Amino acid sequence: MLVTGPRTRTVRRPRYPVTREIDEQTGLGEAYMRSLVRTQLRLAIRLCLVLAVVVAGLPLLFATVPAVREQEVLGVPLPWVLLGGLIYPWFVGCGWWYVRQAERNEADFAELVDRASAPENDDRSGVGRRPPAPPGKDRA
């Protein structure tokens, strides 16, 4: 006996797995690819901008604010402390942060593709938003 709830929207799943859409370069496949590339590019640009602001800003700071140039930290001039010491751990920190973010983006993309590629269920009861069960699990 089929019980239907109120008509709610089911998730429209693509007819083919997304990987096939990508392979055949359909509109949907292209959309997925563009979104991946855009996400990664945004991450890259964000980090490069931060890098640019700091790296381009320091000479400007030194040029325009003499007090900064002459400031001393434990007897060592501040420019030497920054450029000769602190900037290196900062680079490494930025690098690790970037790797984590980029890997997370890729994992998200892979999950998105896998999710969208899972085989269709015939279940059309109201809870259409539930993520698709992994194949094989619901077969009692």
Partner 1 sequence: MNAAYGLAGVLLVVVATVLIGVLGVRISRTTSDFYVASRTVTPLRNASAIGGEYLSAASFLGIAGLILAYGADMLWLPVGWTGGYLVLLVLVSAPLRRSGAYTLPDFAEARLESMAVRRVASVLVVLISWLYLLPQFQSAGLVLRTVTGAPVWTGGVLVAVVVAVNVLVGGMRSVTLVQAFQYWMKLTALTVPLIFLLLAWRYDGAPGLSSDEPPRFGDRTTVAVGTAVTVDVTAPVHVVVDGRVDGRDHRDAPLTLNPGRHHFDEDTSVTFPAGAGVPHVTGSPVTTDHDWALPLDGREHSLYATYSLILATFLGTMGLPHVLVRFYTNPDGRAARRTTVMVLSLLGAFYLFPALYGVLGRLYTPELLMTGRADAVVLTLPGRLIGGVGGDLLGALVTGGAVAAFLSTSSGITVSVAGVLAQDILRGGVRSFRVATLLALVVPLGLAIAARHLAVADVVGLAFAVAASTFCPLLVLGVWWRRLTVPGALAGLVTGGLLAGTAVIVTIAAGPPAGFAGAMLSEPAAWTVPIAFTVMIVVSWCTPGRVPAGVARMMVRLHTPETLDVDRGTWRPKRV
Query: Could you give the C-alpha distances from 50 to 40, 56, 65, 122, in angstroms and in order?
Result: 16, 10, 21, 49
Nearest-CA neighbor of 11 among 125, 113, 106?
125
Terminal CA-CA length for the chain: 17
Figure out which of the listed residues 8, 57, 65, 84 binds partner 1, where binding follows CB under 8 A: 84
Site residue total, partner 1 (CB under 8 A): 45
Q: Does residue number 89 form part of the binding site for partner 1 (CB under 8 A)?
A: yes
Rounded Cα gap, residues 25 and 2, in angstroms:
39
Figure out which of the listed residues 25, 73, 125, 138 binds partner 1, where binding follows CB under 8 A: 25
Figure out which of the listed residues 80, 119, 123, 130 binds partner 1, where binding follows CB under 8 A: 80
Q: Does residue number 57 form part of the binding site for partner 1 (CB under 8 A)?
A: no
Q: Does residue number 95 form part of the binding site for partner 1 (CB under 8 A)?
A: yes
Q: Which is nearer to partner 1, 58 or 126 (CB)?
A: 58
Q: Does residue number 128 form part of the binding site for partner 1 (CB under 8 A)?
A: no
Figure out which of the listed residues 8, 11, 31, 51 binds partner 1, where binding follows CB under 8 A: 51
- Name the minimum Å distance from CB 12 to partner 1: 22
Helices (H), the chain: 18-23, 27-64, 66-70, 78-81, 87-117
Q: Does residue number 120 form part of the binding site for partner 1 (CB under 8 A)?
A: no
Nearest-CA neighbor of 54 among 29, 83, 30, 25?
83
